[in-house]
């Protein structure tokens, strides 16, 4: 039975990843300091081969016994979080990645890094291929997240080249699904919570900036395929179907049956104008592409959010 360590296991994606690994017959050790994670996300895993350790991965990580893979998902990941927590965001990208790589090296385990489309910044190439180096403002408000992930990629690659560690890097594009926080600042949860509460739905900018939304089960499938592959270079995992922020907002308002009005606010500094993955590498090397249609994914997500808003 493979034994896998997942940092950030109580977070949105980390909890889905842990659950799917258990479903596939793995033993999972979750690590989370609960800064942005929530034990409620993994409470249903309590009677399975899952253990959650409360620990800050910027400190030395000790896991007794064998480990086959380390999946490093610990990090604030929404704009609200990393703007409020700039230094913890930088520390988990740098020190946390170093400690997680150290654990993988000590155990002879493979290592998977959760990177992000944010490494491309406000891109001048569209759609974004993995060969694109990005357009990032290192001292802008988003730089703490963008550069933490870029540094994490550099360190992961250095461990692969210098120590021969079996490493993988997944660049995650906008993902949505159950267990996102109501007020985490990302488009889908923000629009859903506002619409369900009958509040104005807030769009930043003119709403014509684009995003590509991938349902969480598709993302997790791509991550596991990458983990089990022989691929070492970064791989984009996301849905190449591009749509405007205004389109997704109007779709969500319609699906909720809400009377919410759409209002427009100034665009935050360095907010990307376009975001669309080129997934040729994932298709070619992993045989992966997203399967869940937007309406199906939004319906499942909305069902989850209704329970949270009523609660």
pLDDT exceeding 90 applies to what percent of the chain?
Answer: 90
Residue 269 has pLDDT above 80, yes or no: no
Please identify which of the residues 82, 120, 132, 145 carries the catalytic annotation. 145
Of the ranges 107-111, 144-148, 170-174, 272-276, which one carries the lowest mean pLDDT score? 272-276
- 270 or 307: whose pLDDT is higher? 307
pLDDT tier for residue 242 given thresholds of 50, 70 and 90: very high
Residue 290 scores a pLDDT above 90? yes
For 112, 173, 200, 212, the CA distances from 195, given in Å and listed in that order, are: 36, 24, 7, 21
pLDDT at 310: 66
pLDDT given at position 279:
98
Domain with residue 108: its CATH number is 3.40.50.720
- Split at pLDDT 50, 70, 90, the class of 272 is confident
Asked if residue 297 belongs to a domain, the reply is no
60 in a domain, yes or no? yes
Question: pLDDT digit string (tens) for 69-103?
Answer: 999 999 999 888 989 999 999 999 999 999 999 99
CA–CA separation, 2 vs 6, rounded Å?
A: 13
Tell me if 118 is assigned to some domain: yes
**Residue 9 domain-assigned (yes or no):** yes
Q: Which domain holds residue 284?
A: 3-175+214-240+277-291
Residues 299-308 as b or e (16 or more Cβ within 10 Å = b) = ebbbeebeeb
Residue 63, CA distances (Å) to 5, 181, 274 in order: 9, 29, 41
Nearest to 62 by CA among 20, 93, 103: 103
Task: Tell me the mean pLDDT in the region 17-21.
Answer: 98
Q: What is the pLDDT of residue 185?
A: 81
> Bigger pLDDT: 151 or 82?
151
Mean pLDDT of the chain: 95
Full-prediction pTM beyond 0.75? yes
Number of domains in the chain: 1
Q: What is the pLDDT of residues 184-207, one digit of tens each?
A: 888 899 999 999 999 999 998 899
Read off the pLDDT of each residue in 285-305 and give the average, rounded to a whole number. Answer: 96
pLDDT tens figures, 24-54: 999 999 999 999 999 999 999 999 999 999 9
Share of residues in the chain with pLDDT > 70 (%): 99
For residue 150, is it within any domain?
A: yes
14 found inside a domain: yes
Nearest residue to 258 (alpha-carbon basis) of 194, 308, 307: 194
Mean pLDDT over 120-139 rounds to 95
Residue 256 counted as domain residue: no
Residue 267 pLDDT exceeds 90:
no
| 120 tagged catalytic | no
Q: Which letter, b or e, does each residue of 45-80 get, where b requires 16 or more Cβ atoms within 10 Å of its Cβ?
A: beeeebebbebbbbeebebeeebbbbbbbbbbbbbe
Say what the pLDDT of residue 7 is. Answer: 98
């Amino acid at each position: 039975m493979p034994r896998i360590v997942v940092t950030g296991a109580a977070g949105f994606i980390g909890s889905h990843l842990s659950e799917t690994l258990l479903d596939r017959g793995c033993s999972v050790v979750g690590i989370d300091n609960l800064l942005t994670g929530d034990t409620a996300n993994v409470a249903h895993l309590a009677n399975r081969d899952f253990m959650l350790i409360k620990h800050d991965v910027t400190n030395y990580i000790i896991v007794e016994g064998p480990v086959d893979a380390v999946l490093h998902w610990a990090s604030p990941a929404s704009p609200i979080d990393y703007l409020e927590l700039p230094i913890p965001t930088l520390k988990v990208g740098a020190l946390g990645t170093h400690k997680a790589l150290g654990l993988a090296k000590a155990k002879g385990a493979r290592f998977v890094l959760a990177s992000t489309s944010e490494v491309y910044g406000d891109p001048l190439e569209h759609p974004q291929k993995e060969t694109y180096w990005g357009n990032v403002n290192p001292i802008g408000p988003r730089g703490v997240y963008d550069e933490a992930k870029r540094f994490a990629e550099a360190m992961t690659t250095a461990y692969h080249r210098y120590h021969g560690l079996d490493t993988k890097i997944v660049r995650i594009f906008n993902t949505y699904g159950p267990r996102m926080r109501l007020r985490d600042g990302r488009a889908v949860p923000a629009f859903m919570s506002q619409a369900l509460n009958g509040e104005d739905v807030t769009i930043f900018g003119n709403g014509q900036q684009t995003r590509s939304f991938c349902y969480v089960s598709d993302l997790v499938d791509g991550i596991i395929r990458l983990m089990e592959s022989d691929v070492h270079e970064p791989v984009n995992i996301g849905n190449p179907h591009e749509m405007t922020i205004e389109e997704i907002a109007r779709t969500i308002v319609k699906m909720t049956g809400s009377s919410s009005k759409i209002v427009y606010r100034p665009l935050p500094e360095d907010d990307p104008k376009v975001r669309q993955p080129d997934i040729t590498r994932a298709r070619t090397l992993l045989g992966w592409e997203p399967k869940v249609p937007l309406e199906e994914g939004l319906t499942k997500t909305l069902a989850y959010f209704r329970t949270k808003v009523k609660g």
